[in-house]
Structure 1
Amino acid sequence: MIGSISIRTPLLTTFTTRTMTRSISIKAPLLVSPRTLQELRSSPNADVKILDASWTMPNVPRNPSKEFVEKHVPGARYLDLDEVASPSELGLKHMMPSAQVFSEALENFGITPTSHVVLYDSQGIFSAPRALFMFRAFGHNNSSVLDGGLPGWEIEGLPTEMGHAEKTLKSAYPVPAFVSETVRSYEEMVSNAAKPLSDPLAEIVLDARSLERYTGLEPEPRPGLSSGHIPNSFSLPFRAFLQTNAIPGSDKTFTTFLSANDLRRKLVEAVGTEHAQLILQGKRGVRTTCGSGMTAGILWLGLKLIEESTLVSLYDESWTGYALRPESRIDRGVL
């Protein structure tokens, strides 16, 4: 079931790099339920901006932008994660955008530094956490994910609309400061992998791909890319953090996050009690990775739902960037 989450709004002071003007960043809950979003939308003078961040794997015969035109949450705009991104030297898609690209995209959406941005996707929980990671990495803490996404919204009997989104007036969004420690580079991943897990300075790496791809028993969906895993990384498939829900009257399903207690249990199963305790006590950092940096966001958000102060970063290039480099050491089997 999709639970209801109350909103906490402590004020945080941030500074921007374009004008260095003082702005207020409100910290919103990481997840909101459909009913909570409906209440937010109905609040007088509420500055709520809704973005559909649906994305699918290249081999999936779907077009999220066309699906958006066919049906979306009223007032939503479509956020193309492949477009709001910066070029990669390896030609990878949906890499973290520059601060300038992020700022310009938000201006076009009519988003201001104080807007409450709610992100969702059409699968329930899939690509929206990656979008939330992007917002939080640029200090826009007044951002949340809609748990259950568009299917969960519909199951609650809430309205949808179709057609192209109406253009909004451009807003002013100063170029934000990027929280650099939230994203890890290839060089940082290689350096970390060279440390034994017994080294207290080594961060725990969690791989969100399937166990079969992690062990090397199944090929990667990208032709010619080797399967396997980064040395000293743990397998924690992103689906382990999610609950699958049936859509009444259909053979389709959608996903929501597990409860915090169940998320904690899944973490312990993946890395063991000792590592899990160190992670949740803030004594050991975590780096999440996946195939291309998308579902690593699910692990990032799941860990934050257990304990928001957890030190979690994301390897942006993820396995594709790592395995494309011929000098990379690739392990197979189970850690």
Structure 2
Amino acid sequence: MLLSPNKLRSLLGSTNRVVLLDATWFMPNSPRLARAEFQGKRLPNAQFLDLDQVASSHPLGLKHMMPNGETFARACEKFGIGPSTHVVIYDAHGVFSSPRALFMFQSFGHRNSAILDGGLPRWEAEGLPLETGEFHESEVQETKYPIPSLDADVIKSYEQMVSNSTLVPLQTPGAELVLDARSRGRYLGMDPEPRPGLSSGHIPNSFSLPFNLFLQNTTAANGVTYTTMLPKEQIRAAVIEAVGIERANSVFAAQMPVIASCGSGMTAAVLWLGLQLLEVKRTSIYDESWTGYSMRPSSKIAKAE
């Protein structure tokens, strides 16, 4: 699921059918525009995957929710992706939104998919070729993609989260461990949410594990900073630090399932990816995440450990 630039370059030089997707996404309050940056600079022959567009509608108006099988299939066809195509996803941060796109592909059974560790900035920092100028979608040859079924266990609903929030992990049979990928200040209710009007705090009986604890920052010779996934042993240590050795061991032994949550279902996928690297397969995402949870007046919000 994780490729270095050199591994990707070798893959592109092979006879395998590879499609590159730029899944860059920025927070709503960011001045940067993902599609505009893609038009300015991208990996050769890459296409832009708009995660807000390849998504399902939501009654609360939430963005980038998991698409249904038909929407996913139609997007793959537009990109020239078939069921056996090797899909490699990257973003302009390094590792930020690309894991969410990978989660989508993996959840629909497209196992031949991975992300570029370090993304566009690492690729550029290592002196590998780039493509600039306007991208023309008409250059892509569409293909057929059968409508797949979504793995029903990978997405959690609001009702499931409310029910689970009354259970204490390890102390209550059937409890699932909820990991919150937002910053600790937002989890504790000390810092404001970036989306106006939302209360900070956390779901009762959840645990704080900011997604950046799975990442390391690198500053290249050109001054550009990017993120990559930490080595597995450090990811494992971050989980233990966040939830304690007993809960962590239950997770690693596949005895207790994990639900990852964040602000809007985006960076929760960084936690999901880290746990996949540790071979923790019983991991799902609360798709609405904190935005959907806190928008509902009936939701119980905790603001302390």
TM over 0.5: yes
**What displacement does 1:310 show?**
2.7
Structure 2 distance, partners of 1:242, 1:200, is 32
**What displacement does 1:169 show?**
1.1
**What displacement does 1:253 show?**
1.1
**What displacement does 1:93 show?**
0.4
Any idea what SS the aligned residue of 1:101 has? helix
Say whether 1:127 aligns with 2:97.
yes
Any idea what SS the aligned residue of 2:51 has? coil
Aligned match of 1:209 in 172, 182, 187? 182
Structure 2 distance, partners of 1:71, 1:271, is 40
**What displacement does 1:180 show?**
1.0
Structure 2 distance, partners of 1:313, 1:159, is 36
1:214-246 Cα deviation digits (max 9, x unpaired): 000011011110000000000000000000110
Any idea what SS the aligned residue of 1:181 has? coil
Any idea what SS the aligned residue of 2:153 has? helix
Asked if 2 retains the 8 angstrom alpha-carbon contact of 1:280 and 1:310, the reply is no
Structure 1: segments with no counterpart, 5+ residues: 1-29
Any idea what SS the aligned residue of 2:20 has? strand
Asked if 1 retains the 8 angstrom alpha-carbon contact of 2:103 and 2:269, the reply is yes
Asked if 2 retains the 8 angstrom alpha-carbon contact of 1:121 and 1:127, the reply is yes
Sequence identity of aligned pairs in percent? 53
Aligned match of 2:18 in 31, 48, 68? 48
Counterpart of 1:39, as a letter, is S
Any idea what SS the aligned residue of 1:243 has? strand
Asked if 2 retains the 8 angstrom alpha-carbon contact of 1:279 and 1:310, the reply is no
**What displacement does 1:163 show?**
2.2
Structure 2 distance, partners of 1:297, 1:288, is 7
Say whether 1:35 aligns with 2:6.
yes
Partner of 1:243: 216
Equivalences for residues 1-335 of structure 1 within 5 A: 30-44=1-15, 46-166=16-136, 167-197=139-169, 198-250=171-223, 252-307=224-279, 309-334=280-305
Asked if 1 retains the 8 angstrom alpha-carbon contact of 2:125 and 2:222, the reply is no
Structure 2 distance, partners of 1:164, 1:249, is 25
1:165-201 Cα deviation digits (max 9, x unpaired): 3431110000001101100000000011111221131
TM-score (norm 2): 0.97
Structure 2 distance, partners of 1:141, 1:293, is 21
Structure 2 distance, partners of 1:47, 1:132, is 17
Regions of 4+ moved over 2 Å: 163-167
Counterpart of 1:80, as a letter, is D
Structure 2: segments with no counterpart, 5+ residues: none
**What displacement does 1:99 show?**
0.7
